[in-house]
Structure formats: C-alpha cells, structure tokens
Amino acid sequence: MTRIDIVITILLVLCSLLLVESQHKNRRAYIELERAQQAEAKLQVQWNQLQLEQSRLTKTSLIAEAAARDLKMQGVVPARTLYLSEPLGAKP
C-alpha cells in the first residue's frame, strides 16, 4: 500500500466520523427545534386564552355596571357636555 493510499484511508475514516457526528448534532438540534415549536404552540394557546379573558373582562356591560356602581359615574349626555367651537381660521 502506498503512502497516498494510507492518507486517503485516514481521511475517509475521519470524514465518516465527522459525518456521524454532524448527523448526531443535527438530530439534537432538531429535537430542540421541535421542543421550541411545541412551546410556541403552548404560548399561542395561552395568548388566545388571555385575549379571550381580556374580552370577557372588558365587556361593555361589565364596564358600564362597574362605572355606575363602584365609581358612581353617569352617562354623557349633550346637556352636560361643553362643546367648543373651533376658532375661525384654525387648522385641524
């Protein structure tokens, strides 16, 4: 066996080991990715739950009831509203 054959054989073995190693790393990384995606899906569900909760808590009926009962607020009617006229020549 010539010297070049030995070098090539060693390189081949080395490449094969590196291939196995990279394959392994790839799989580990993919498992991580999967876990991250699952976590993302869970967070998405939580986000949806929170949005729904927010909608429930900000229902007009709840706010109107709380404003009238707890804060003693009253509805705005034109009779109690001060309307200001825009001065002539004013720009919006």
Partner 1 sequence: MRKNRVHSFTPNPLLKVKLPAGRSRFAMFVMSCAFLALVARAFWLQVWSNDFLKREGEVRFMRTLEMPATRGGITDRNGAILAKSLPARAIFANPSDAQLEPAQVSELSKLLGMPERDLTKRLASDGKTFVYLKRQVDAPEAEKIAALKLPGIHQLPEYKRHYPDGSTIAHVVGFTNVEDAGQEGMELVHQRGLAGHTGARRVMLDRMGNIIEDVGTLREPQDGSDLQLSIDTRIQYHVFDAVRDAVNHHRATAGAAVVLDAKTGEVLALANLPTYDPNERGALSGAQLRNRVMTDTFEPGSTFKPFAISAALEAGIVKPSSMVNCSGKLTIGSASVGDAHGHGTLSVEEVLQKSSNVGTAKIALQLPPQRMWELYNSLGFGQAPEVGFPGAVAGRVRPWKTWKPIEQATMSYGHGISVSLLQLARAYTVFARDGEIIPLTFLKSEQPAVGQRVMKAETARAVRRMLELAAGPGGTAPKAQIPGFSVAGKTGTAHKIEGGRYVARYVSSFVGFAPASNPRVIIAVMIDEPSAGEHYGGTVAAPIFARIASDTMRTLRVTPDIALRAETGSGSKSGPSSGSGAGSLPGSGPGSSPSAGTALAGKTARAPARSRGNA
Closest to partner 1 by CB, 22 vs 51, is 51
Q: Minimum distance from CB of 77 to partner 1 (Å)?
A: 6
Closest to partner 1 by CB, 9 vs 51, is 51
Closest to partner 1 by CB, 7 vs 73, is 73
**Cβ pair 84, 90 in contact under 8 A:** no
**Per-residue b/e over 19-43, b at no fewer than 16 CB within 10 Å?**
eeeeeeeeeeeeeeeeeeeeeeeee
Q: Minimum distance from CB of 69 to partner 1 (Å)?
A: 15
